[in-house]
Amino acid sequence: MNVNIVLSLVAVVVLGALAFLGGSAPALQGVFGILIPYIAFVMFLGGFIWRIMKWAKSPVPFRIPTTCGQQKSLSWIKHDKIENPTTGIGVVIRMALEILTFRSLFRNTKAKIIGDRISYELELWLWLFALVFHYSFLAVLVRHMRFFLEPVPVCITFLEAVDGFFQIGLPIVLMSGVLLFAAVAFLFLRRIATPTLRYASLAADYFPLFLIMTIAGTGMYMRYFLRVDVVAVKELTMGLATLHPSIPANIDPFLFVHLFLVCVLFVYFPFSKLMHAGGIFFSPTRNMANNSRIKRHINPWNPDLPFVTYEKYENAFREKMIEAGIPVEKES
Amino acid sequence: MKDKGKIIAGVAIFAALVSFPFWYNTGTAKPAPELILAPEAKAAVTCILPKDQMAKEHMQLLDGWRNSVVREGQRVYVAEDGKKYDMSLSNTCLECHTNKADFCDKCHDYAAVNPYCWDCHVNPKEK
C-alpha cells in the first residue's frame, strides 16, 4: 500500500473524527461552529492575497511566447490571433478559453509504444472529468449561498431548480453534488490506476482529493440520508454571515464534520497546489502577448552601461591595434 | 510589478466576491422563523407521526403517498397507532395545518426550498 495514500486518508479520517467528537460536545460546538470558521475565512482570504502578492513581485523581464499557432508575420501568412496573440484583447480571449474551458488540458496526449514505434494519442478523459469537477464544484459552492444570504437571491434558487431538474426523489437529487463526487473519485482512480502517475503522486495530491471527496460525501449524506434540520443549519450560518454568531439548540453534530473539513480545505487552499486557481492568471506562457518583434522589451534590471560603438572603440585603441598588426578601418 | 493596476483590481474583485455574504446581509441579525400552529392543528394534538420525525421525513412521506396514490391507487395510510388517514396533501395535511403561509412556507422560504407539491396541489384556503 502506498504510504502517500494511507497518510492522506488517515489525515482526513482523523480530522473528520475530531470534528465529530468536538461537535458532539456542547462545550466545543462554539469552537467548531464559530471560531474555526472565522479563522478559516481570514486565513483563506489573507493567504490567497499574500500568495498573489508574492507572485506579483516576481520580475517578468521578457516575453515567453510558448504558443500553439502561427506568429504574426508577413501579410500572406495566416496569423493565429488567439493562439499567438499580439494584442491585449487576443490575450484576454486566450486566457478566458484557458480558464473556462481548460484548453491546455484538451491538448493532453498519451504516449504508447505500438509495435516498434511510439505513438501519441489524444487523451481527453482528464480534460472531461476536470471540467465536470470544476463546474460542479462551482455549482455546489454557489448553491450553498442559500445558507449565507437572506433573502435568498433568485439566481441561486434558479440554479438549484436547474440542478434538480430531473426531480428524482425528495429531497430532490441535485446533480452537481453527485457529479462532483463522481469526478473526484475518477481523478483519484486515475492517479492509482496509471503506474507512472502513481509513482509521481505525493500526499499533497491525494489529500485534497480525499478531503473534497469526504466533503461531498458528508454533504450528500446529510441531505439525503440523515436529513439534518436545515433551518437550524441556516441559523448557524446566518449567524456567521451577519457577525452575530450563535449555536442553535437542535443542530446535528454531524454537520460539524462537514463544516470543519470545509474549513480545513479553506485553510489548506492558499498554501497548496490548489492555488492554481489564482496561479492560472499568472501563467507566463498564456498571459503575455507575443509582440517581441513589434515592441522592444528591455530587461528592467540591466545595468545602465554606456553604449560603445566600434568607431569609439577604434578611436581609443588605434595606436595599440596598429602596433599589434590588427587591421583598422581608419589609419589615423 | 508591471501590471500592478490589473493585479490589484483582480484581488479586489476576488475579495469582494469572497466576502459577499458579509456585506449582502449588512450585519443585521436575521433570526430563524418561528412556526405558528393553526388552531385546528393544536386541537388535533397529534400528527400522523411524532413531531421530530415529521420535521425530518415529511417530504419522503409525501413522496411515498404520491407514488402510492398515483401509481397503485392505494390511498389509505395507517399510522403507528392504527388510525387510518386519507393520503391527501390538500385534504388531510392542510385540514389541520390551515395556515400554509405561516406553517409550510416559513421554513421553506428561509431555507430556499421550493417544493413542487404546489405545482399541482392547491391550498383549499387560498382558492
Half-sphere exposure of A126 (CA within 13 A, CB side): 17
Pair A111, A120: CB distance under 8 Å: yes
Residue A248 preceded by cis peptide, ω within 30:
no
**Same-domain check for residues A95 and A152:** yes
**Same-domain check for residues A60 and A157:** yes
**CA angle, residues A10, A11, A16, in degrees to nearest 5:** 95
The residue segments making up the domain with residue A238 are 3-301
- Give the whole-angstrom CA distance, residue A306 versus residue A94: 40
- Give the whole-angstrom CA distance, residue B32 versus residue A251: 13
**A330: pLDDT confidence band, cut at 50, 70 and 90?**
confident
* A129 vs B93, higher pLDDT: A129
**Same-domain check for residues A214 and A68:** yes
**Under an 8 A CB cutoff, do B2 and A60 touch?**
yes
- Spell out the residues 6+ positions from residue A324 whose beta carbon is closer than 8 angstroms to its own: none
- Give the whole-angstrom CA distance, residue B66 versus residue B88: 8
- The number of angstroms, rounded, from the C-alpha of A154 to the middle of its chain's C-alpha atoms is 28
- Spell out the residues 6+ positions from residue A125 whose beta carbon is closer than 8 angstroms to its own: A186, A190
What does chain A come to in residues? 332
Residue A57 has its nearest CB partner, among B1, B11, B27, at B1
Fill in the DSSP letter of residue B84. Answer: E
The DSSP result for B19-82, as a single string, is: THHHHHTTT---PPPPP---HHHHHH---SS-HHHHHHHHHHHHHHHHHHHHHH---EEE-TTS
- Give the whole-angstrom CA distance, residue B29 versus residue A164: 30
**Same-domain check for residues A14 and A122:** yes
**Same-domain check for residues A149 and A130:** yes
Pair A176, A143: CB distance under 8 Å: yes
**Under an 8 A CB cutoff, do B111 and A231 touch?**
yes
**Under an 8 A CB cutoff, do B25 and A48 touch?**
no
pLDDT digits (tens, 9 = 90+) for B94-117: 888 888 888 888 889 899 988 888
Contact map slice: B 75-104 vs A, CB within 8 A: none
Q: For A165, which residue in chain B has the nearest alpha carbon?
A: B116
**Under an 8 A CB cutoff, do A241 and B22 touch?**
yes
Q: Which of B114, B117, B120 to mutate to test the interface with A (most CBs of A within 10 A)?
A: B114
Average pLDDT, chain A: 92
What distances in angstroms separate CA A120 from CA A113, A124, A198, A294, one per listed residue? 9, 13, 20, 36
Phi-psi domain of A169 (left: phi exceeds 0; alpha: psi -120 through 50; beta: other): left
- The arithmetic mean of pLDDT across residues A27-35, rounded, is 92
Pair A240, A17: CB distance under 8 Å: no
**Same-domain check for residues A80 and A221:** yes
pLDDT reported for residue A105: 92
Pair B32, A248: CB distance under 8 Å: yes
Q: Which three cell numbers stand for residue A235?
A: 441559523
Total number of domains in chain A: 2
Q: Which of B4, B6, B7 to mutate to test the interface with A (most CBs of A within 10 A)?
A: B7
**Same-domain check for residues A44 and A148:** yes
Contacts of A248 in chain B (CB under 8 A): 32
Contacts of A284 in chain B (CB under 8 A): none
- Give the whole-angstrom CA distance, residue A223 versus residue A215: 12
Buried b / exposed e over A211-223, threshold 16 CB at 10 Å, is: bbbbbbbbbbebb
* B59 min Cα distance to partner chain A (Å): 6
pLDDT digits (tens, 9 = 90+) for A76-127: 999 998 889 999 899 999 999 999 999 989 998 888 888 999 999 888 999 9
Highest mean pLDDT among A64-68, A175-179, A196-200: A175-179
Assess A314–B contact: CB distance below 8 Å, yes or no.
no
Assess A156–B contact: CB distance below 8 Å, yes or no.
yes
Least confident of A150-154, A233-237, B88-92, B119-123: B119-123
**Same-domain check for residues A204 and A325:** no
**Same-domain check for residues A10 and A28:** yes
Fill in the DSSP letter of residue B86. Answer: E
- Spell out the residues 6+ positions from residue A3 whose beta carbon is closer than 8 angstroms to its own: none
**B2: pLDDT confidence band, cut at 50, 70 and 90?**
low
**Same-domain check for residues A179 and A233:** yes
Fill in the DSSP letter of residue B93. Answer: I
* B27 min Cα distance to partner chain A (Å): 4
**Same-domain check for residues A63 and A77:** yes
* B35 vs A211, higher pLDDT: A211
Assess B59–A contact: CB distance below 8 Å, yes or no.
yes
Q: Which three cell numbers stand for residue A285?
A: 506562457
**Same-domain check for residues A199 and A332:** no
pLDDT reported for residue B52: 84
Q: For B32, which residue in chain A has the nearest alpha carbon?
A: A235
Assess B63–A contact: CB distance below 8 Å, yes or no.
yes
**B127: pLDDT confidence band, cut at 50, 70 and 90?**
low
Pair A263, A22: CB distance under 8 Å: no
Amino acid identity of A32?
F
In CATH, what number is assigned to the domain containing residue A198?
Answer: 1.20.950.20
What distances in angstroms separate CA B55 from CA A83, A233, B51, B52, one per listed residue? 56, 14, 6, 5
